[in-house]
Structure 1
Amino acid sequence: MKKYTIILTLVLTTLQSFGQHNKESREKIMALKVAFLTQELKLSSSEAEKFWPIYNKHEEQIDLLRNKGRLEFKKKIKEVGDLAKLEESDAKKLVLLKLDLEEKMVEEKVDFNTKISKFLPYKKIMKLHLSEREFSRKLMRKYGKGKKTKE
Structure 2
Amino acid sequence: MNHLLRTLSLLCLLAVLPLAGAHAQRGDQRQERLSQLENARIAYLTEKIALTPDQAQKFWPLYNEFTAKRRDLNRRLRQLRPADADGLSDQQLRDNINQSFGLRQQEITLEKDYFDKFQRVITVRQVGRLFLAERQFTREVLKRVAGRPGMNAGAADGPDD
Moved over 4 A (4+): none
CA distance in 1, matches of 2:88, 2:27: 30
Larger radius of gyration: 1
Which one-letter code corresponds to 2:35 in the other structure?
E
Is 1:150 matched with 2:150? yes
The corresponding residue for 1:105 is 107
CA distance in 1, matches of 2:109, 2:30: 29
CA distance in 2, matches of 1:27, 1:137: 18
Instruction: Report the Cα offset of residue 71 of structure 1.
Output: 2.3
Is 1:65 matched with 2:67? no
Which digits, 9 at most, give the CA deviation of each residue in 1:70-92, with x for residues without a partner?
A: 12434xx5xxxx32222110001
Is 1:19 matched with 2:21? no
Greater relative contact order, per chain length (Cα 8 Å cut-off, separation 6+): 1
Match of 1:130 among 129, 132, 141: 132
State the percentage of identical aligned residues: 20
Which one-letter code corresponds to 1:101 in the other structure?
L
SS of the residue corresponding to residue 73 of structure 1 reads coil
Cα RMSD after superposing both structures: 1.6
CA distance in 2, matches of 1:67, 1:24: 21
The corresponding residue for 2:46 is 38
How many residues are aligned here?
Answer: 127
Which digits, 9 at most, give the CA deviation of each residue in 1:90-142, with x for residues without a partner?
A: 00111111111111111111111101111311111111111111101100100
The corresponding residue for 1:84 is 86
User: How high is the TM-score relative to the length of structure 1?
Assistant: 0.77
The corresponding residue for 1:116 is 118
CA distance in 2, matches of 1:21, 1:69: 27
Which one-letter code corresponds to 1:37 in the other structure?
L
User: How high is the TM-score relative to the length of structure 2?
Assistant: 0.73
